[in-house]
Every structure is written in structure tokens, then in C-alpha cells.
Amino acid sequence: MMTIKTSNLGFPRLGKKREWKKAIESYWAKKIDKAELDQTLQDLHKEILTIQKDHHVDHIPTGDFSLYDHVLDTSLLFNIIPERFQGRPVDDDLLFDIARGNKDHVASALIKWFNTNYHYIVPEWDNVSPQLNNNVLLEKFNFSKEVGVTSHPVILGPVTYVALSKGGDQSFDEKVRTLLPLYKEVFEQLTEAGAEYIQVDEPILVTDGAADLQDITKEAYEFFNEAAPAAKLVLQTYFERVDLNFVGQLPVYGFGLDFVHDNGFNLQQIKDGLFPKEKALFAGIVDGRNVWSTNIEEKKALIETLQSYTDELVIQPSSSLLHVPVTLEEETLDDSVREGLSFATEKLDELYALKQLFNENDDTLYNELKAQYERFESQSFKQLEYDYDSVKSERTTPFKERKVLQDQVLNLPDLPTTTIGSFPQSREVRKYRADWKNNRISDEKYEEFVQNEIKRWIEIQEEIGLDVLVHGEFERNDMVEFFGEKLNGFLVTKFGWVQSYGSRAVKPPIIYGDVKWTAPLTVKETLYAQSLTDKPVKGMLTGPVTILNWSFERVDIPRSEVQDQIALAINEEVLALEEAGIKVIQVDEPALREGLPLRSEYHEDYLNKAVHSFRLSTSSVQDSTQIHTHMCYSQFGQIIHAIKSLDADVISIETSRSHGDLIKDFEDITYDLGIGLGVYDIHSPRIPTEEEITVAIDRALQEIDRSLFWVNPDCGLKTRQEEEVKQALTVLVNSVEKLRQDNTVKQPN
């Protein structure tokens, strides 16, 4: 009888109460020294390893625990250091500077990790000298042994690493070949230290581009097989299907496959005989990207099927658990919903229940989880009827005609300036919100504080000289969670934090029922801000695609149906703002690109549904109401036509970290709507220079009609310090003023 083991691909770094984030940010703020940072993170790493041991995981990962980002860790491991940061010791301070920038140099680009809400730091190959630096992966593996945990090292594979990189004169294949001896050395050191097997992550093999990478992938893993034969390599994939006809022939110990997000293809390939039976199958059967409990009876049947096709079966999550919160342990939730939830530690319990059922014929935990799942499934959260026909799904007047009306109403100067929406969430802002939520201060006192902050920042914006203002979003904890707290059908947790990038954590709401708008969400604060100034103030909303992508969505109905429900709710708020007299309304969709399926065969359907939902939320306004949207962290080239189809009057797009590369996307399309390309990076504490901003604007105007161009930072300013924001925006406005003076341009009446 086959013995089934369990494995994990990665565990959340944040800690149960964001201890990881707090320690790193305290170090940045110079509140703790390096020794204290190291000790805090070491203690947290030990706790994470112990949690997995206590939950009976047979193969516990190490190397997933990072100071910032696992892709950046790989860059430092192999000395792929951006040219502007070279010549310094390869240490944690260098890592942080590459990720965040410093007063002298801009940070490296920040890009979405495949189609998740996690972001990685893009490796840069210009003038690098690859070599093996201090093997921190070996240090982490040895640390796990010291704390009594048998772990397996995890490393990003060479093909995926190069595919996620940019720059350099070498070809793709040459870059991979340069790294192979360095990987070999890492594998040898880990094997000598006692690593039973090594998890090599190659998620790039689930994408369309994998077909073009077969030759170099085969070369790489044949090299590893000959050069480091003692290392048991498990080639791990996730997020989609792989071509088992190719991948199954690679000379590795085993393969990790996703059986949750593969649309059924991986299982079918195995049934078709494409999996080599003598290889170990690391089967991702528990959803690593969502928070719903597993249909454990369904997984039991899947395991029974898979056992027939391999001599060694290991069950695990479908991906790293980095994408879900740590535990339900301290959540106070209604049992009717709680029983349907499963965070990282609970997912380990699900795997253990299945292992015990098959190995020990012990069905105690299995039956408990099965009954819990059935009780949740018996709940009815779907009760509403939706009238889609009464809501417009497109604006009937062309943009050129709308623009004439909007110009008359808004009377803006050439190259209008604005921000993306949020202003710094200072410690004082967060304290007042926490005090209010915990009933330590009255509603009246909290509202007075929020209004004072709005008033203060309206005055700051007017003093700086911005043209279209915002109220600052001081009443909002997060651009999605805020709406989740106010719309029916959403559940908000207390400690359900997930890492987004670096130390930035978000708390995605959980969509458990039908979504419904019942009362204005943002009108009061926006209207108050507008009452303080003669300049237009933007209403600030989050769009339906982003709310869905940045929430844990329902899986019992199609995503597009949930998305359209959200769109109708946002449409209600758009109309409420318009009725209150707000003339500029921004409906942000930063997650539109990240939700794009990894396989191109699904792109058209996804984009059509995304565009429809956005239009459903914005098309019922009057022609004179100007609709803005915003996108960030994205590679936009393949969706540029969908962006145009949104028919937003103005779109602002993050480009600063890509150093203006996005502008090339506009060389192949006539984009005749309003657009702002972010001219400085808000994710870095450095203040841009006037020269940098002027160059960014001039480059954009080579491809974009000046009459359509807006100037703005690349994203919201929530995470920055107040003085940084004031200085940076002053530089931005001063740069624009000089550009206006240098040209014969339209000025406000």
C-alpha cells in the first residue's frame, strides 16, 4: 500500500499579526538596529517552521522566508545587482535599497507575480557579473535543522528567473547558461548539508511562452542531472497546466503540478499516460490562493485516482500559501461563514486529514472537516435579483464630444496635474481609525478628525498648485477592504493580512454572498472636500474588476457574475456622487491586468467581461461628468486595446519603475482618450528631480497628444511620509509650470 506524504510550497512571511512587516519598517525608521531586526525575524522564522511541524507536514519549505521578495533574494544570491547599485557589500541594506530606492538611485521595477496580487522586484542584467554570493539558502536550511525541523530548500528556477528579468546584452539562453554552474554549486552545498530534496520553482512553464523555452529548459535540467546527480530536484509548477508531454521527460526526481487552477488539464494529461509512473508526483490539491475550505470528499476521490499513476504521491497546496492569511485562530466570525473558511494553517490540517485517512485509516479529522464543509454548503447566501438591463453598459456620446463639455465645466490648464487619490496614512490617522473601530472615541470625534485632515490636505494641495484635487481617503483603511465593509455580501476579517509587496500588506475582504449597494459610501467626505475649494475634487472609487481580484472571491458561481454584481453597486455610488455635484469621478482598476489568465486562449473572454463590468459601473453618468481610472504594476502591451475599450475619459498608468517602457505600447495604437503616465515612483522615499519629471513628460509627449496628457505620480501616496509627498508634488507642479511657460499653451480663463 502506498504511503502518502504531505508537503508545503511556502508559508506566509507576515506572521499572525504582521510581526514581519512591523520589524522591517521599524528598522527602516531606525527604531531598531540590525541585530534586533535579525533576532525578531529569526524568532518569526522559527515560529513559522514550528507551525508547519506541529501540523504534521512531512516536507517543510525553507528559503520561502524572505526579507522582502524571493525573486530579489535570488538576484542577490547570484550577484545580479542593478548597475547603479554595484560596488557595495551584498547585504540586507543593499537589498532594501534595490527594492525601495534611495536618495541617489531609483528602485528596481515592481511587477505582478504572474496573475496574483503579489509583486516581485524585476532583476536587471545590465553589466552584471554573476557569481555565487553568500549562500543564504544554505543558512536557512541549517537554521531549520537547528530548531529541529527537517525542511526542503526552495529556490526559483533558472528559466523562470531569467524570464522575469530584463536588460543585458546576452541572449535568454546565454543568461540561463551563465547561471547553471552557480545553481549547481548551491545544489551541491545543500545536498552536502543533508537536504533530501530541493524544490525548484519553474512557474514560467505554465505560460504560453513555455513552448519557446523547451530547448533551454531541457539543457538546464540535463546539466543539473549530470553535474549534481545527488540532488533530488522537484520541478515545481503552479497557477496553471504544464505540457506534460515535454515536462514529464525532464531528468528530475519529481514534478509538482497544480490540480486546482489547471482547468482540469493536468489530471487529463495524467489519465492520458503522460506522467512517468516512476517519478514522484507532488500534487497541489488544496487551493493555495483562496480561503474557502476544501471539498475534502472530492479530494479523497482525486487522490484515489492519482495513486494509480505514480509510485510516490505527495499531496500539497496548489501554490505557496503566501497568498492567503496565516490562521483563523483569532478571528471572531459567525460560524455559518467561518466553517467555510480555511487559511494557511487550516489548509495544512486538510492535508493532514487526508494523509491520516489513507495511511492510518483514521477518518476522525476527515469526517469532522467533511461535516463542516457540508454545513457551510447548505447555507443560502444567494437571494437577490439583478436588473442589468436598466443600467447602461456603454457611453453613447463619443469621447471627443464629451471632452468639449468637460473642458467647459472644468476649465483646466494645459498639462493638468492631479494625484491618484490617497494621501499619507500617518500614525495619527491609523490611531484615530483604530480608536473609532474599537469604540474608544465617538462617531462625532472621529468624523471631526477626518474632516480636519481633509481640510488640511485640500489647503496643502491648493498651496502646491495642483489642478484637480482629492479628499485624501483618510477614512479608508484600504481601497478594497473599505468597500467590503460597506457593501452587502462581503466579510471583513480582523487579522486576514496578505503580503502585496515588500512590507506592504493588504487585508482582502471575503465575498461570501450576493453583492448589494444599500447606501452612499463616499459621498459625505467627497462633498465636504469639494465645499472647501473652487477647484474640482475627484470622487474616488475602486472598480469592480479590482474589487473582485483583490478579494477572496466566491467559487460557487462564475467570477464574471460576481464582478457584474459589484459593478452595479459601484454604478450606484457613481450616480450618487454625480447627483451630489461631483464632476470628476475616478474608478480605479489597478488589478485589471493582473487578473489576465496565464493562457492566451482565455484572454479575450476575460478582457471582454472586465471591460463590460467597468462600463457597467461608469456609463450611466452625464456626458459632462469626467470618468477617470487608474492602473499600476502592470505590463500593459497585450491589453492596450482593452484599456482603450474601457472608454474612460482619463486613464492614469504607473510607468516610473519601468522607466517609461510603457510608452512604447502607444506607438502601435492611436490612443485618443485622456491619459496620465506616472512621472515619479511613489514606492520609493526618494524625491524626484525636476529634470527627471521633465524628461518623463517630454518622452510621453512624443507619442501622446499634449491636449490629452495629464501629469501625476504613478500611484496613491498612502504609504509615504508627509514631507516626502509635499516635496515631490512641489517638484512635479514646478516642472509642469516651466513646461507651460516654455510653450504657447492654453491657460485657464
What angle is formed at CA 46 by the lines to CA 41 and CA 47, rounded to 5 degrees?
95
DSSP 746: -
Tens of pLDDT, residue by residue over 527-546, are 999 999 999 999 999 999 99
Q: Residue 745 pLDDT more than 70?
A: no
The pLDDT score that the predictor gives to residue 665 is 66
Annotated binding site for L-methionine: 420-422, 473, 588
Maximal C-alpha separation, the chain = 84
Are 620 and 574 in contact, with CB atoms under 8 Å apart?
yes
The pLDDT score that the predictor gives to residue 671 is 81
Distance CA 497, CA 288 (A): 15
Query: Counting beta carbons within 10 angstroms of the beta carbon of residue 657, is it exposed (0 to 12), middle (13 to 18) or buried (19 or more)?
Result: buried
Q: In whole angstroms, how far apart are CA 433 and each of 200, 430, 473?
A: 43, 5, 12
Sign of CA dihedral 574, 580, 584, 588: negative
Q: In whole angstroms, how far apart are CA 377 and each of 146, 292, 339, 556, 616?
A: 43, 11, 9, 9, 30
Tens of pLDDT, residue by residue over 380-421, are 677 788 988 889 999 999 999 999 999 999 999 999 999 999
- pTM, two decimals, is 0.90
Q: Residue 660 pLDDT more than 60?
A: no
| Helical spans, DSSP H, in 158-239 | 158-163, 172-192, 214-227
Q: Catalytic site residue 683?
A: yes
In 85-192, DSSP assigns E strands to 110-112, 119-121, 151-156
Residue 276 backbone dihedrals phi, psi, to 5 degrees:
-70, 115
* 42-51 long-range Cβ contacts below 8 angstroms, 24+ apart: 42/143, 44/13, 44/15, 44/19, 44/20, 45/140, 45/143, 46/143, 46/147, 47/15, 48/11, 48/12, 48/13, 48/15, 49/144, 49/147, 49/149, 49/151, 50/147, 50/149, 51/11, 51/345, 51/348
The pLDDT score that the predictor gives to residue 383 is 75
Residue 363: CB atoms within 10 A of its CB come to 13
Q: Going by DSSP bridges, is the β-strand pair 498-501/504-506 parallel, antiparallel, or unpaired? A: antiparallel
Mean pLDDT over each residue of the chain, to the nearest integer: 93
Among the residue ranges 134-143, 156-165, 626-635, 709-718, the one predicted with the least confidence is 626-635
Are 647 and 615 in contact, with CB atoms under 8 Å apart?
yes
Query: Counting beta carbons within 10 angstroms of the beta carbon of residue 102, is it exposed (0 to 12), middle (13 to 18) or buried (19 or more)?
Result: middle
Q: Residue 587 pLDDT more than 60?
A: yes
The pLDDT score that the predictor gives to residue 215 is 98
Tell me, rounded to whole angstroms, the distance of Cα 643 from its chain centroid: 19
Q: Of the spans 251-260, 425-434, 479-488, 674-683, which averages the highest pLDDT?
A: 251-260
Which pLDDT band holds residue 616 (cuts at 50, 70, 90)? very high
Q: Going by DSSP bridges, is the β-strand pair 5-6/60-62 parallel, antiparallel, or unpaired? A: unpaired
Annotated binding site for L-homocysteine: 420-422, 473, 588
Distance CA 454, CA 457 (A): 5
Q: Residues with Cβ < 8 Å from 433, sequence gap 6 or more?
A: 446, 475, 477
Instruction: Count CA within 13 A, CB hemisphere, residue 166.
Output: 12
The pLDDT score that the predictor gives to residue 633 is 53
Q: Residue 320 pLDDT more than 50?
A: yes
What angle is formed at CA 202 by the lines to CA 344 and CA 349, rounded to 5 degrees?
20
Distance CA 11, CA 271 (A): 31
Among the residue ranges 123-137, 152-166, 645-659, 686-700, the one predicted with the least confidence is 645-659
Q: Residues with Cβ < 8 Å from 484, sequence gap 6 or more?
A: 490, 491, 492, 508, 509, 510, 511, 547, 551
The pLDDT score that the predictor gives to residue 684 is 77
Could you tell me the three cell numbers for 28?
A: 527602516
Q: Residue 672 pLDDT more than 70?
A: yes
Q: Which amino acid is at 230?
A: A
Q: Residue 659 pLDDT more than 50?
A: no
The pLDDT score that the predictor gives to residue 703 is 81
Q: Which amino acid is at 431?
A: K
In terms of pLDDT, which residue wins out, 730 or 659?
Answer: 730
Could you tell me the three cell numbers for 127?
A: 553589466
Among the residue ranges 35-44, 115-124, 299-308, 689-698, the one predicted with the least confidence is 689-698
Q: Residue 591 pLDDT more than 90?
A: no
Query: Counting beta carbons within 10 angstroms of the beta carbon of residue 49, is it exposed (0 to 12), middle (13 to 18) or buried (19 or more)?
Result: buried
Q: Residue 657 pLDDT more than 70?
A: no
Instruction: Count CA within 13 A, CB hemisphere, residue 626.
Output: 25
Percent of the chain scoring above 90 in pLDDT: 81
Among the residue ranges 7-16, 604-613, 656-665, the one predicted with the least confidence is 656-665
Tens of pLDDT, residue by residue over 204-228, are 999 999 999 999 999 999 999 998 8
Q: Residue 748 pLDDT more than 60?
A: no
The pLDDT score that the predictor gives to residue 168 is 96
Q: Residue 661 pLDDT more than 70?
A: no
Q: Residue 749 pLDDT more than 50?
A: no
Are 125 and 165 in contact, with CB atoms under 8 Å apart?
yes
Could you tell me the three cell numbers for 604?
A: 479575450
Q: Which of 573, 566, 571 is nearest to 524 (CA)?
A: 573
The pLDDT score that the predictor gives to residue 747 is 42
In terms of pLDDT, which residue wins out, 347 or 477?
Answer: 347
Buried b (16+ CB within 10 A) or exposed e, 582-592: bbbbbbbbbbb
Query: Counting beta carbons within 10 angstroms of the beta carbon of residue 640, is it exposed (0 to 12), middle (13 to 18) or buried (19 or more)?
Result: middle
Sign of CA dihedral 267, 321, 107, 79: negative
Look at residue 140 and give its three-state secondary structure. Answer: helix
As a whole number, mean pLDDT of residues 619-637 equals 86
Which pLDDT band holds residue 465 (cuts at 50, 70, 90)? very high
Residue 651: CB atoms within 10 A of its CB come to 23
Q: Residues with Cβ < 8 Å from 640, sequence gap 6 or more?
A: 665, 666, 668, 669, 671
Annotated binding site: 18-21, 112, 117, 420-422, 473, 550, 588, 594, 630, 632, 641, 654, 715
Choosing from 45, 55, 70, 683, which is the catalytic residue?
Answer: 683
Backbone conformation region of residue 10, classed left if phi is above 0, alpha if psi is from -120 to 50, else beta: left
Tens of pLDDT, residue by residue over 24-65, are 999 999 999 999 999 999 999 999 999 999 999 999 999 999
Q: Residue 699 pLDDT more than 90?
A: no
Distance CA 45, CA 290 (A): 23
Look at residue 17 and give its three-state secondary structure. Answer: coil
Q: Which of 74, 614, 656 is nearest to 392 (CA)?
A: 614
In terms of pLDDT, which residue wins out, 590 or 564?
Answer: 564
The pLDDT score that the predictor gives to residue 323 is 97
Distance CA 716, CA 725 (A): 10
